[in-house]
Amino acid sequence: VKFVSKGGTLLITKAAKDERMSYFFGMTPGADWSTNKVASGLFFNKPLFPGMQGRGFDNETTHLGFNTSNFSSNVNVLVSAYNDNNYPVLVENQIGNGKVILYNSSQVLKKEMRGLLFSASLLGLEGIPYPIANIGTLFLDDFPSAVYDENGKAITLKNGEGKSEFLKKDWWPKMKKFSQEEDIKFSAYVTFNADDKNTGEANFKSWDQTGLLDGKNEDGTNKWMTNEFTNRGHELGFRGYNDLSLSKELWQDTDLILENIKASEKKWEENISKSLPTSYVAPNNKIDSLGLISLKKGFPSLNFVHTSFLGDLYKGGNRE
C-alpha cells in the first residue's frame, strides 16, 4: 500500500481470488467474488493503443474474471469486454498518488496479448508518450517474382500496358521516389516460379521468359529489376523456387526440395548476384523441420527464416 500510495503502479495480470487484495482491485466491501462466464473480447474505452478508442474485437475466448458488481464505481475501466461493455477487463484503481492496474481475466497470457500489458505498464510512467516504432524497412513479399509478358487485367484496363511496361514506367519509379523521400530501404524476397508444382526437374521458365524492356535489355525484366534493386542498396532475400511451402506433406518426392533449393542457389549466382541472400520468407508462413534442413543444405548463406508470429511451431509458425 505504501508503494502505491506514494506514486507507484502495481500491475496485476490475473483475476485470482484473494480477499487481502480486494482493496487493491477496487472492489466493494460486500464483493462476493462471483465469476462472469460469458464476457469475451476487448473493447477500448480509452486510447490504450493509438487510434483504438471506441473500437474492439472478439477473440471468442471468455475471460472468466470477476463480475462487474464486485467493483466500486470509482474504478476507471480502460478496457471492457467486446460482447458486454459493462464487464471490466482492464481496471485502473487510484490509491493515493499511485494506481493499481488489474487485468480482470483468467485467460492464459498469449503472445498476442503482450501489447495490451505493455501499454498498461506504460500508465505507470508519468509523462511518457506511447512509443510508435518508425518503419525502417518495408518487406515486399513475393517481389521481385517472375514478371510475365501477358497483360494483367487491372493494369490493362487502366493503362493499356503489359506488366513489364507498367513495372518499369509506373510502379518502380514511384517506389524509388518513396524510398528516397522517406529514407527507407526495401527488403524484397525473390520467388523464381509463380506455381506450386512438386514434381519434375527444376526449371526457371517463368523467370527467364520475360520480355525485353525497350528492346534493349538482353536479360529481360526480372534481371533488370533485380539490378535496379540491389544497385540502390536494397536487400534481396529468398522466398523460394516456387510458391509451395517446404514441408513433407506437400512434396511427393521430398528429395526434390533439396534439389530445387540447390538449383535456386545456382540460378541466383548466375542471374541475380554473386552475393547470396541471408534471409528467407516461407511461402504461406509454413516450413517444417525437413524444409529447414534442406534450406540450410541447399542455400547455406541463409541465416534468417521469417514466418508468422502465431501459429503451429511444427509447421513453421509461433516464431519470435
Determine if the peptide bond prior to 300 is cis (ω within 30°).
Answer: no
- State whether 74 and 211 are in the same domain: no
Residue 38 sits in a domain of what CATH number? 3.40.50.880
Query: Residue 278: which pLDDT band, with cuts at 50, 70 and 90?
Result: very high
In a domain, 10, yes or no: yes
Does any domain span residue 320?
A: no
Q: Judge whether residue 303 has pLDDT over 90.
A: yes
Question: Using one digit for the tens of pLDDT, what is the confidence trace for 17-28?
Answer: 999 999 999 999
CA torsion 204→207→210→213, rounded to 10°?
Answer: -140
CA gap 134, 74 in Å, rounded:
37
What is the CATH number for 292?
A: 3.20.20
Listed range (14-18, 187-191, 222-226, 313-317) with the worst mean pLDDT: 313-317
> What pLDDT is attached to residue 41?
93
Question: How far apart, in Å, are the Cα atoms of 178 and each of 38, 142, 224, 249?
Answer: 48, 19, 20, 41
In the listed set 71, 99, 122, which residue is the last one of a domain according to the structure?
A: 122
More confident residue, 157 or 43: 43
The stretch 121-149 carries a mean pLDDT of 64
How many domains is the chain partitioned into structurally?
Answer: 2
Q: Which residue has the cell 526434390?
A: 256
| Low-confidence winner among 60-74, 86-100, 152-166, 278-292 (lowest mean pLDDT) | 152-166
In a domain, 217, yes or no: yes
pLDDT digits 0-9 by tens, 3-18: 999 999 999 999 999 9
Residues 65 and 146 grouped into a single domain: no
Q: 3-state class of 241 per DSSP?
A: coil
The pLDDT score that the predictor gives to residue 227 is: 86
291 falls within a domain? yes
Residues 191 and 80 in one domain: no
Same domain, 110 and 153: no
Is residue 69, in this structure, part of any structural domain at all? yes
pTM for the full model?
A: 0.66
Does 284 lie in the same domain as 144?
yes
Shared-domain flag, residues 109 and 156: no
Give the pLDDT confidence score for residue 205 in this predicted structure. Answer: 82
Same domain, 57 and 167: no
Are residues 208 and 171 part of one domain?
yes
**Among residues 73, 94, 122, which one ends one of the domains?**
122
79 with 30, same domain: the answer is: yes
> Domain check: are 184 and 286 in the same one?
yes
Percent of the chain predicted with pLDDT > 90: 45
pLDDT tier for residue 226 given thresholds of 50, 70 and 90 = confident
Confidence of residue 130 (pLDDT cuts 50, 70, 90): low
Q: Which of 122, 146, 175 is the last residue of a domain?
A: 122
Query: Is 237 in the same domain as 106?
Result: no
User: Is 127 within the bounds of a domain?
Assistant: no
Quote the pLDDT of residue 229: 86
pLDDT-derived band at 183, boundaries 50, 70, 90: confident
Q: Tell me what the pLDDT averaged over the chain comes to.
A: 85
**Per-residue pLDDT band at 215 (split at 50, 70, 90):** low
- pLDDT of 143 higher than 80: no
pLDDT of residue 104 exceeding 80: yes
Among the listed residues 85, 83, 76, 71, the one whose alpha carbon sits nearest the alpha carbon of residue 23:
71
pLDDT of residue 217: 52
Predicted pLDDT at 285:
86
Residue 128 forms part of a structural domain:
no
Q: Are residues 202 and 280 in the same domain?
A: yes
Please indicate whether residue 97 or residue 207 has the higher confidence score (pLDDT): 97
H or E element: which one contains 235?
A: strand 235-240
CA 188-304-250 angle, to 5 degrees, is 85
Return the pLDDT at 102: 96
What SS3 class is residue 39?
coil
Domain span including residue 70: 2-122
Is residue 18 in some structural domain? yes
